[in-house]
Structure formats: structure tokens, C-alpha cells
Amino acid sequence: MIKRIRRHVKDARFEDEREFDNRLVRLPIIKIEFDDNRARKSGKVFIQNSIKFDKKLEDMRIDSALEGYVSERQYLSKDRNWYIYEFYAVDSQKQLEIKSASDLIEWSNKTADDYALRLDERATVPFHHLGLVGQTGSGKSFFIQMLVEQVLSKKVNHELFIIDPKRTDVYQMAKRTVGNERTADKTNAIELVKQFHERMKKRQDELQDYFMSNRNKTYRDAGLPALILLIDEFGALRESWKTLAKKERDEVDSILSDVAFMGRQLGCILWVATQQMNAQTMPTAIREQLVMKVALGDSDEQTYRTLFSSGVDIPPVQFTAGQGIYSYPGLASADKPRLLIAPYCSFLN
């Protein structure tokens, strides 16, 4: 692969113009590292930076030189001595099928502990506030149900509070798994939000003494379960609240902002899913606290910019159901999200 990249770099006239007619051409140093030398499904190409090549490397796409692989994102190393191009194998875009709940749990447990979720073959993340967007047919509902199945399978008894205003598959699953008391539709959504807020304030009291004697610790260090408030179709739900008095609308927004701002250390996690995201569907105070961001299927530019960042770099890929992009600190930045290919949980049909 290195030889192929070097040939393409040479063809792109990276050498000094004065050297072009010479027999010896000086090219930048190129290295390749696979994330797993056995599987060789993903990795990084390192191309040495220099004053002469800096601008060309910044603008260069290397996909054509990666036979069987696709470049996912590029950036400078921390010391700025290397341009790094992350890549993945083309055949890794094939969606894994999981045929039973037990298979899902087995797959998840390979990389996730009791306070983490496995998103796809490459990404496993700790519980955190989640913003999820996806149009109809994007696989959003399947993705939510996959996450819920994982949470319920943990040895720690995490508590889920689930709101689905449209009473779709997520609502039916919630009724079956977490029960009526922690499941709501449009009519009793606000009641459940307030119930969750009270539970959060109780958790705050529970942890007050622990935090005083244990600096920089979280609910997990105290051995407590996570409390997760999942709201599906948040945009539609918030639209329905426009008929309420302004005081009541502001109260609900304030509660959700409180959960998003204070909840992480307490283990009170907010997951919001919607078809589109803009300033009207998602208040800024909540959106800014959504650390894990996922967009499934194809979305409009405004949704991408609102969810991730104004300068987000979207991979030039046409996404199908279950495919999309995500960002999470340490794995992928909001400016340069990574490809996500969630497994197809056929047993949920």
C-alpha cells in the first residue's frame, strides 16, 4: 500500500519542480499503522509534513491510492510533524446482522462494561448524554432499541425512563421492559420528566457526602446505577408543547437543561432523539451538553451543523439504514465525525 501511495504522491507532482527532470525524486516519508494487524479493517496513514508539502497535504485526498480502503478523515498530529489519514476497509461497511438478544449481549460484552455501550464494530463509549438524529427509514428506532437492550442486560440495574410521544416501537418496548410507571407518551410526558427530575434531586442528596470526601469522583465510583431519560421524537414532542402556557413550557425546558448540565456526574443521563435538529427543535442549553452525537441515514445540512458544529466535515458517503456518523471526545471530534455502521438487529422485527 505504501508503494501505491508513493506512486500517487509522485504523480501528483509533490516533488520540487526543479527535481522533476532528475532521476531521483524526494518524496515525504509515508508510514501505515493498522488498528489490528490481523483484521486489517482500519488504520492510519502517516505522511511527514514539511514547509514544502504542507499546503498540498492539507488539501490532498488519498482514497484513490487506498485500494480496498476508504479515507475517513485527516488531521495534523499534535506535534504537527505528520498528516494523519484515518481509513477503513470497504468491506467493513457491510452491516453486521444480529439475530437474537443473546447474540447482541454477547457482541456488546466483548468491548463494553456495565457503564458503556457498543455502537458498532469499532466504537464503544461510556454512558453519556446523547443526541441522535435520523429521518424515517434511517434505522433510528432500531438503534434506540439496541441501546436499550444493552442497558437492560447490564449486571448493574440501571433505571430507564422512556418517552415516545408517537407510541411507536420504542414505546411498546418500554412498556414491556421498564413498565408503565417509567414509560410515557405525549399525554403524560411532562409528568415523567418531572418524575425523573425529582429522582435526580434525590440522587444529588445521596451523593452529597460522598462527593465531599471523594474529589473528582462520579456516581460510578460510588457504585450507583445510571438513571437514563430517553425521549424519542423530541422535536415533535416539543412542538406539541406550544399549546401549553409559556410558564409551563419554560419549566420543562429548565428541567431538561438542568438534567443536561448537572446530570453527568450524578449519573442522570439524557438521551434525545429527533428527525431533524435546529434551534427550534432543540434548545441551545441542552444541545451544548450532548457529548455523544449520532446522525443516522442522510440528514440535511442544517441538522448536521446544529448537531455537530458549524464547520462539520461530512464524509462524501450515501448512508443507508443503520449507517451514519458520530462524534465522541477521544474518538471523533464534532468537526470531523467518524463513520458509524450499527448492527442490524433482525430479532427486533
The pLDDT, as a whole number, for residue 111 is: 96
Is 293 marked as a binding-site residue?
no
Q: What angle do CA 139, 158, 281 make, to 5 degrees?
A: 45
Cell of 32: 501505515
Q: CB neighbours (10 Å) of residue 308? A: 25
140 is in an annotated binding site: yes
In DSSP notation, 102-135 reads HHHHHHHHTT--TTEEE-SSS-EEES--EEEEE-
pLDDT at 62: 82
The annotation status of 139 as a binding-site residue, yes or no, is yes
The residues of the chain that CATH labels 3.40.50.300 are 94-348
Q: How far apart are CA 283 and CA 241, in angstroms?
A: 14
10-residue averages of pLDDT along the chain (349 residues): 74 55 69 87 89 78 83 87 88 88 97 97 95 96 98 97 95 95 95 97 95 94 97 94 91 94 94 92 92 95 93 84 95 92 95
| pLDDT confidence of residue 108 | 98
Buried residues in 56-91 as b, exposed as e (16+ CB within 10 A): ebeebebeebbeebbbbbbeeeeeeebbbbbbbbee
The answer to whether 297 is a known ligand-binding residue is: no
pLDDT at 223: 95
Strand order in the sheet with 69-76: 30-34, 42-48, 82-89, 69-76
CATH architecture of residue range(s) 94-348: 3-Layer(aba) Sandwich (3.40)
- The answer for 179, left when phi > 0, alpha when psi is -120 to 50, beta otherwise, is left
What is the per-residue pLDDT for 11? Answer: 66
pLDDT score for 139: 95
